[in-house]
Amino acid sequence: MINNSPVIVTESLTKRFGEITAVNQLTLTVKRGEVFGLLGPNGAGKTTTVRMLAALLIPSGGTAQVAGFKIGQDDQDIRRKIGLLPESPGLYDSLSAEQNLAFFGAMYGVENTPEQTQKYLELLGLWNRRYEPVGTFSKGMRQKLAIARALLHEPEVLFLDEPTSGLDPQASKLVREFIEDLKDEGRTIILTTHNLEEADRLCDRVAVISGHLLALDAPGELRRKIFGRKVVFHLQEANQALVGALEKFPFVSEVQAVDNKILAAVENPEEQNPELIRALVNEGAELQFVGELRRRLEDVYLELMGAVEENNHGKN
Amino acid sequence: MERIRAIIIKEWREVFKNKFVLFTVSFLPLMITVLPLVILYFAGASDDFASISGADLPPQFEQLCGELSGGDCMLYYIVTQFLLLFMMVPVIIPMTIASYSIVGEKTTRTLEPLLATPVTTIEILVGKGLAGVIPAVLTTWIGYLIYAAGAYLMVSNMAVVSKLFDPLWMIAIFLVGPLLSLMGVSIAVMISSRVNDPRVAEQISGIFVLPVVGLFIGQMSGMLLINETFILWLAAALLVLDTVLFYFAIQIFQRETILSRWK
């Protein structure tokens, strides 16, 4: 469903608050239909970036286009094309779910608000609670209602700022599944989250930021770029001779024996594994099974943040 | 217009569920309507008023009362005193409503999703402003009509009662009242854009009721005579002031500043 046409393009996007630079020279492109993750520690500039792209904050420098409209120039058009789920749901507690959506339907100029309200409240399991004041809703229900509000006008781009933050596992799962459904529909979604497992599962590409851009790619590619690819050979018994058999290959950059396993860093396991397996068997290995060491996105993130910290210590 | 209408309805649904706001909006006009009627009742029943002659009154009363007798002139003077009290209603009510509506949006963090919609700053301010002005003006008018009806029943001299419908009162109630309301709402919007507690906004806004209180004291002490010329000048001044204040309210309502100064 991902289309190569860009829906968000930023060029050296910068935001300063007084002397503090919250976002520094951010350059990225988001493709249509993509779920794009913005990852980073607290204060990394994720929310500020989302607010700039949602035409809520005026950039201090650089340029950005959202759905073909320029930020700072076509802000009203941008607001018509985007849906925003902020960090806090921001619903009117004394109003019912239906009244909340009716109000935002009017703000977005939605012509068929009652139909859209029914569609999204049913999809999110809130239709039977539509007349109840939002103040009586659980956190998960409020979050779902805020998502319905963000979708009411069928936006081209959806910004979800920490959509599962503070939710219990069941509510988080429901929200995640709904985002997956939206992804299947081909919506462009910008997702900021601290939940790296969630980002790994939902995002086509992620940008790791800490004021500035640290890395940008698909989660799998980031893993490969940072840790390379490691094949794990599970053996009856690992020994030094087997390690030596693998070290002979020029395409193997690192070999390590751990318990009954041998880990080998290789460039292209799909092509090179047969040769390695043959060499191990010839050396007398009793091979049980072969797999690839799967690094989590969290490992990538921690590696990048570690590098930032080291860099900061170096500067100090 | 649809957005402004939706904002007004939303504001009323929200604000009138706040018991404090509801109390302020209903108690003040009730008090300002009932209290003068009570005073009027006892004044009308008093024999002392009947014995007052025109010569007992200060010279400026002649301008106010025209052909009325001394006692009736005194009665009319009392009736007129409450005109300025009625002028407080359209200032205080919108200030209370606007203070709670804007700062309330900040504290409940509802302003961010609202500002993310295509609604313009003018639409937000007009919607929120009218949500305060409409109930204030209607309350003032209803209060005035109840007061006039009460005076009709309690005051035997129709010449005194008919004075309640003279141009002075008409201009005050139907022109100065709404203009004062607009002033109150613009001031509350400006203050609410800068503070984070609705009570603080309301208290600071309350300072701006003082000029009306000053007029009331000035009139009570005899230093000031509220007549048609004065009220017309007041209306003209308020018209200019409202235009300036609304312009500044729009300038001060900086979306970015409001969003980034929340924490």
What integer pLDDT is reported at residue B263 of this predicted model?
Answer: 46
SS3 content of chain A, % helix, strand, coil (to 5): 40, 30, 30
Per-residue pLDDT of chain B in tens (263 residues, 90 and over written 9): 889 999 999 988 888 787 877 887 788 888 888 888 888 777 766 667 667 776 677 766 666 677 777 777 777 777 777 777 778 888 888 888 887 777 778 778 888 899 999 999 889 989 988 998 998 899 888 888 888 888 888 777 777 777 777 787 788 888 888 998 888 888 888 887 777 777 777 777 777 777 777 877 777 777 777 777 888 888 899 999 999 988 888 888 878 877 776 54
Residue of chain B whose alpha carbon sits nearest to that of A146: B113
| Contact between chains at A84 and B111 (C-beta distance less than 8 A) | no
CA torsion sign for A93, A98, A99, A105 is: positive
CA distance to A189, B49, B50, B157, per residue, from B44 (Å): 74, 7, 9, 10
Residue A149 and residue A248 in one domain: no
Q: Per CB distance under 8 Å, which residues of A are interface residues toward B?
A: 17, 51, 54-58, 76, 79-80, 82, 84, 86, 88-95, 99, 102-104, 106-109, 146, 149-150
The beta-carbon neighbor of B117 closest among A57, A94, A108 is: A108
- Between A57, A94, A103, which is nearest B17 by CB? A94
The predicted-structure confidence for A59-108, as pLDDT tens digits, reads as follows 999 999 998 899 988 999 999 999 999 988 889 998 999 999 999 999 99
Instruction: Tell me which of A174, A193, A217 is where a domain ends.
Output: A217
Do A38 and A96 fall within a single domain? yes
Residue span of the structural domain in which A67 resides: 3-217
Contact A56 B116 (CB under 8 A): yes
The predicted-structure confidence for A242-274, as pLDDT tens digits, reads as follows 888 888 888 888 888 888 888 888 888 888 888
Looking at this predicted complex, what is its ipTM?
0.80
Q: Radius of gyration (Cα) for chain B, nearest Å?
A: 21
Distances (CA, A) of B196 to B18, B104, B183, B200: 17, 8, 21, 8
Tell whether A84 and A185 lie within a shared domain: yes
User: Which own/partner pairs from A58-62 qualify as long-range (CB within 8 Å, at least 24 positions apart)?
Assistant: A58/B256, A59/A13, A59/A14, A59/A15, A60/A14, A60/A15, A60/A16, A61/A12, A61/A13, A61/A14, A61/A16, A61/A25, A62/A10, A62/A11, A62/A12, A62/A13, A62/A14, A62/A25, A62/A26, A62/A27
Residues A240 and A195 occupy one common structural domain: no
Domain boundary at A189, A217, A245, which? A217
Looking at A186, A217, A248, the residue that finishes a domain is A217
Chain B interface residues (partner A, CB cutoff 8 A): 2-3, 5-7, 9-10, 13-14, 17, 108-120, 255-256, 259-260
Residues A161 and A87 both lie in one domain: yes
What is the CA angle A46-A88-A9, rounded to 5? 30
Residues A31 and A145 in one domain: yes
Contact residues on chain A for B115, CB-CB shorter than 8 A: 56
In a domain, A306, yes or no: no
Q: Are residues A67 and A131 in the same domain?
A: yes
Query: How far apart are the CA of B102 and the nearest CA of chain A, in angstroms?
Result: 13
Q: Is A305 part of a structural domain of the chain?
A: no
Give CA–CA dist A234/A238, Å, rounded: 8
- Residue by residue, DSSP assigns A252-279 as EEEEEEETTEEEEEES-HHHHHHHHHHH
B10, B109, B118 ranked by CB distance to A109: nearest: B118
Q: Is residue A312 part of a domain?
A: no
Same domain? For A49 and A179 the reply is yes
Q: Mark whether A171 and A100 lie in a shared domain.
A: yes
Residue A199 Cα to chain centre, angstroms: 4
Judge whether residue A117 has pLDDT over 90. yes
Mutate to test the interface with A, among B15, B100, B110, B114 (most CBs of A within 10 A): B110
CA atoms within 13 A on the CB side of B16: 12
Instruction: Clarify whether residues A209 and A92 are in a common domain.
Output: yes
In a shared domain, residues A26 and A119: yes
Report if residue A106 sits inside a domain. yes
Domain boundary assignment for chain B? 2-260
CATH of the domain at A271: 3.30.70.100
- In total, how many domains does chain A have? 2
Which residue, chain included where needed, has tokens 């091979």? A287
DSSP bridge pairs for A11: A63
Q: Are B93 and B235 in contact (CB under 8 A)?
A: no
Q: Closest-CA residue in chain A for B17? A: A94
Residue A86 sits in the same domain as residue A148: yes
